[in-house]
Homo-oligomer: A and B are copies of this chain.
């Protein structure tokens, strides 16, 4: 039994390692969409400033995607820290989640190029939704398969779920705003993200 737990512990370590690796590569690949201006366009300092200013929307999209991956990295880390062991099914649920992480550079490039089209916005949102489903699915399975400590407080257990579901509801509301305008959608999604990153002390926001 001691040996079993030891193996399971190694499994958790390896799951964390492949996961950190994929997040690290994904987060760094995002920058490949920030292209430096073509040398033929630049004949003075002011040309360069002007061309760099035109990258602002791409930089904003990049920040947004980094926030997205950061939020899900923190969420995954919290989950893995609560587990006492892993099994094969959990590994595959996490790999499914990581697959959605690897799609993020594609979704980011798409919305960076076609920010005015709903298709790009909805694909981006679908990527966030899949990440949420992946995280929630892995957590539900971990509870079901008793991969958490027996004395895990109900408040923790419920807290993890509620946090994912509330966030996804807000992202869905943001995506729905694309009926008006894709820029409204993106702005709303970034606000939701900043709320989770900064975790303001304002009462009702804090409960989200």
Contacts and interface: CB of A to CB of B under 8 A. Distances in A.
A77 B14 contact: yes
Nearest to A10: B81
A92 interface: yes
Contacts of A91: 74, 77
Interface in A12-70: 14, 16-18, 20-32, 34, 36, 39, 42, 44-45, 48-49, 52, 63, 66, 70
Given A22-B28, A52-B119, A109 B16 contact: no
**How big is chain A's contact interface, by range?**
35 or more
B20 A106 contact: no
A157 interface: no
A144 B29 CA distance: 34
Given A31-B106, A77-B14, A114 B42 contact: yes
A5 to B, nearest CB: 12
Q: What is the copy number of this chain in the assembly?
A: 4
A103 interface: yes
Interface of A is mostly: helix
A36 B109 contact: yes
Nearest to A18: B20
Contacts of A192: none
Interface of A: 7, 10-11, 14, 16-18, 20-32, 34, 36, 39, 42, 44-45, 48-49, 52, 63, 66, 70, 73-74, 77, 80-81, 88-89, 91-92, 95, 98-99, 102-103, 105-106, 109-110, 113-114, 117-120, 123, 197-199
